[in-house]
Structure 1
Amino acid sequence: MTTRGRRERMRAQMSAEVRSAARRIIANEGVDALTLSAIARDVGVTPAALYHHFEDGLPEIVYRVAEDIVDELVQDLQSAAASHPRDNFAMRLVEPVRALRNWAISHKPEFNLLFGAPSAAAGDAHGELTSAWVRRLAAVWGPIFVELWTQRPYPVLAEDKMDPRLRQQMRDYRTDTGVDLPPGALVVMLSCWRSIYGQVALEVFAHFAPLFSDQEPMFELLMYDLMRGMGLEEQYQPPVR
């Protein structure tokens, strides 16, 4: 192996070790505990040495860790969707949502990093981080909605009845994500996501505790209602016990 090849391999290994250390700190102590000193201590280097691998320092590390988390999450969500036949649109939409909920409950600090309030550790990278995972999640559900719209169009608000600002936002979202749906169909898709995020966030951040110790029934009722709104209630299947 050449000197250059060996150096690149060592850099890649160090980068992986730094990201793993940062993720351990986030999982065990929360993103607010993430500092260059804490990461360096875990890896066994000086904080200054981290800049040789991450020129922008802590925000870049946070961004790369978030990429790793999203990569794994998206793979799990896509696998969940693929576990049902292509013509069962309801379960191809619902199953990855269930997977997201289960992941969020068991990975609360990581959920907080991606979906919670901006963290000081992410700094200016937070906006870019959020835009990146929004596009990645659109790639999970977007193609299913496009296929559904092609085969079984669901009720939508006519474009001429939409607030012009909303119509333009949907067009911008379509351009940014590549989800090729008319504005009204995108409103339905994003309204579903808004409801899902609200339900999951309430559970993860324990806003209903201790009134509801088991929130799965409310979650499943939401899934059924969303599918019913798109005319897919006959395809909905309750979770296997």
Structure 2
Amino acid sequence: MTEATTTRRARLRAQTTAEIKDVALRALTEHGAAGISLRAIARDMGMTAGAIYSYFETRDALITALMVDIHNALADAELAAYTAAPADDAAAQLHAVATAYREWAVANVAEFQLIYGDPIPGYQMPADGPAREAAHRACILLTGIVALGWKPAARRDAITWADLDPVLAAEVRQAYPELPPAALALSIRVWARIHGLVTLEIYGHLTNLTPRPEAVFAADVAALLEDLNW
């Protein structure tokens, strides 16, 4: 087999893999996570069931691949906003990342619901590997912002590293060795505050409360920054 043939096969495989993911995302949008079926995707693509299993051995493997892509897409959007903010201004960085988080979620509802919605029956995300690393990217970015704005004297949380996910804790300790566990705990609480209103909006729970959820969200982010005193 020549190098050109190998490269061509790899390229075709990558194209087919991407197409399978695209069809799965359409099924997700139309039918929810329950609509993701390897056999149904194969039928839509004109493939045999046996052929699609050579790309993804199980439905769960496909869902995990989708979650990796989605978590990375969200983290990329947040990273772009973070990079555009002043490098020495934690408040501006958090405002930018929070805004990017909501904008991405509103533009990618099905994807948001896949990674943050109800558990998928029978599915369990792998305990480690690319999926977990992708899921942690946004938290590590947020922890970097907390590190910039961190005021130790104002934070006396009785949190230890043992109270936190060991994989995430190890990643944060490698990136920010001088930060205490309370800083990571704060970044989780900040994310929870941002995530809460976005989730209510995505699932339609703000419809009868406000015609302008973006204004309510912006006001809450401003209040959060005031509480942090950055």
Contact 1:74 1:137 in 2 (8 A): yes
Task: Report SS of the residue matched to 1:20.
Answer: helix
Matched, 1:80 2:81: yes
Contact 1:32 1:119 in 2 (8 A): yes
User: Residues 190-209 of structure 1: matches in 2 within 5 Å?
Assistant: 190-209=188-207
Matched, 1:43 2:37: no
Distance 1:39 1:145 in 2: 43
TM-score normalised according to structure 2 size: 0.84
Q: Using a 3 Å threshold, how does the CA distance of structure 1 residues 167 and 67 change in structure 2: closer, same or farther?
A: closer
Distance 2:141 2:207 in 1: 30
Contact 1:27 1:107 in 2 (8 A): no
Q: Which runs of 5+ in 1 are unaligned?
A: 233-241
Task: Report SS of the residue matched to 2:154.
Answer: coil
Partner in structure 2 of residue 67 of structure 1: 68
Matched, 1:143 2:147: no
Partner in structure 1 of residue 208 of structure 2: 210
Distance 1:54 1:123 in 2: 15
Of 137-146 and 90-99, deviating more is: 137-146
Q: Using a 3 Å threshold, how does the CA distance of structure 1 residues 204 and 145 change in structure 2: closer, same or farther?
A: same
Task: Report SS of the residue matched to 2:206.
Answer: coil
Contact 1:154 1:231 in 2 (8 A): no
Distance 1:40 1:33 in 2: 13
| CA apart distance, 1:100 | 1.1
Task: Report SS of the residue matched to 1:11.
Answer: helix
Contact 2:82 2:96 in 1 (8 A): yes
Distance 1:5 1:130 in 2: 27
Partner in structure 2 of residue 33 of structure 1: 35
Task: Report SS of the residue matched to 1:117.
Answer: coil
Amino acid at match of 1:215: P
Contact 1:77 1:96 in 2 (8 A): yes
Task: Report SS of the residue matched to 1:125.
Answer: coil
Q: Using a 3 Å threshold, how does the CA distance of structure 1 residues 212 and 5 change in structure 2: closer, same or farther?
A: same
Matched, 1:4 2:3: no
Contact 1:119 1:126 in 2 (8 A): no
Size of the alignment, in residue pairs? 223
Distance 2:10 2:90 in 1: 45
Matched, 1:93 2:94: yes
Q: Using a 3 Å threshold, how does the CA distance of structure 1 residues 177 and 35 change in structure 2: closer, same or farther?
A: farther
Distance 2:135 2:66 in 1: 16
